[in-house]
């Protein structure tokens, strides 16, 4: 499958995300924020970083980048979209996912190997995992505190739309230890931790993140 | 040139970690009597002329761009 990875001004993790896509057995297509062209990709990743220096609010300026017109339109029609960290912030700013991401409750940037539990394996990006599987992937954020009003949280929990939850430590004060969520259709996933940094043993904390990059192919093959 | 000010504040029910940090520093600096601090943003927009149309446009841009109404409230006012 062809998976597009969009580079914005200030994106950091696009190259790692492209590499993770290839390690996961898919073709990575580099996409540019200023284009109005998804180049016929089957799915899109909004990678991590500090697009536009996090000015205004994290993801708020990128959300209006030219290519986001096509991403938002595609996502509403079922195009699989994975937003990691800054990408997750873009997804909430785009209202493709509910809630918001605030500064960590302890105010410090945090970087650690984070244990997670995968709680929804029916999304386009998580079908390679088993329900309740525990994984460890790097986490690095300054504004990763997931918040939403009580009704939204109740709906997310009730509909099983919490994709991943922090285990052992809540690193940023996120409500209900939420690390990642999905939309109603399950094609859009936002995730604060970084699975793209955990796809090869060479670089440290294991290969637990790989499932996010093999799920799409498995889902298509299973059809 | 007329100036329109947009104040953006975190919603009251949203925890404001930065405001809390500022509040926490006050007693250490010898300032007492402050019981709450909320931190927000102020935008100053200059426009050639104050018209209903211009204000409606600023209201719209504040709602869609300057503030994220999921977590923030905003107020638009013309500064004399």
Contacts with A217 (C-beta within 8 Å, 6 or more apart), sequence order: A1, A24, A25, A26
Instruction: Classify residue B69 as exposed, middle or buried by CB count within 10 Å of its CB (0-12, 13-18, 19+).
Output: middle
- Asked if the C-beta of B42 comes within 8 angstroms of chain A's C-beta atoms, the answer is no
* C-alpha torsion sign, points A107, A118, A158, A122: positive
Q: For chain B, say whether A113 makes contact (Cβ under 8 Å).
A: no
What stretches in chain A show pLDDT beneath 50?
none
Residue B80: pLDDT over 80: no
Q: Chain B: nearest CA to A87, how far in angstroms?
A: 16
| Higher local confidence (pLDDT), A161 or B13 | A161
pTM: 0.94
Residue with tokens 């790692």: A16
- Contact assessment for residue A101 and residue A192, using Cβ atoms and an 8 Å cutoff: yes
**Facing residue for A147 by CB, picked from B18, B65, B71:** B71
Domain B3-79 has CATH 3.30.1280.10: yes
Which pLDDT value is given to residue A222?
A: 59
Banded model confidence at residue B72, pLDDT cuts 50, 70, 90: very high
Active site residue A196: yes
Kindly state the average pLDDT of the residues B7-35.
Answer: 93
pLDDT at A220: 62
Q: Say yes or no for a CB contact (<8 Å) between B66 and A100.
A: no
Q: Which residues pair with B4 in a beta bridge?
A: B45, B78
Q: How far is residue A223 CA from its own chain's centroid?
A: 24
Phi, psi of A58 (to 5 degrees): -55, 125
Contact of A171 with chain B, judged by CB distance below 8 Å, is answered with no
Look at chain A and report how many structural domains it folds into. Answer: 1
What is the extent of the structural domain holding A176?
2-222
Chain A residue closest in CA terms to B10: A102
Is A33 assigned a catalytic role? no
């Amino acid at each position: 499958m062809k998976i597009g990875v969009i580079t914005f001004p200030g994106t950091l993790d696009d190259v790692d995300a492209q590499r993770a896509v290839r390690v996961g057995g898919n073709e990575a297509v580099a996409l540019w924020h200023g284009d109005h062209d998804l180049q016929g990709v089957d799915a899109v990743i909004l990678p991590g970083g500090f697009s536009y220096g996090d000015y205004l609010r994290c993801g708020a300026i990128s959300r209006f980048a030219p290519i986001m017109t096509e991403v938002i339109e595609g996502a509403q029609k079922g195009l699989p979209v994975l937003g990691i960290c800054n990408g997750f912030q873009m997804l909430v700013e785009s209202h493709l996912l509910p809630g918001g991401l605030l500064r960590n409750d302890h105010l410090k940037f945090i970087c650690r190997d984070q244990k997670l539990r995968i709680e929804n394996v029916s999304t386009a990006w998580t079908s390679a995992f088993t329900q309740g599987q525990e994984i460890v992937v790097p986490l690095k954020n300054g504004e990763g505190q997931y918040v939403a009003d009580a009704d939204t949280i109740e709906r997310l929990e009730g509909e099983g739309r919490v994709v991943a939850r922090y285990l052992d430590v809540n690193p940023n004060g996120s409500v209900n230890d939420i690390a990642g969520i999905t939309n109603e259709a399950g094609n859009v996933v936002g995730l604060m931790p970084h699975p793209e940094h955990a796809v090869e043993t060479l670089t440290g904390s294991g290969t637990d993140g790989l499932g996010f990059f093999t799920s799409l192919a498995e889902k298509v093959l299973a059809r | 040139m007329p100036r329109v000010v947009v104040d953006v504040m975190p919603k009251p029910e949203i925890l404001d970690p930065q405001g809390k940090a500022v509040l926490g520093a006050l007693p250490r600096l010898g300032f007492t009597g402050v019981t709450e601090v909320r931190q927000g943003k102020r935008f100053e927009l200059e426009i050639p002329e104050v018209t209903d149309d211009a204000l409606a446009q600023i209201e719209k841009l504040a709602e869609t761009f300057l503030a994220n109404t999921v977590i923030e409230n905003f107020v638009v006012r013309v500064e004399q």
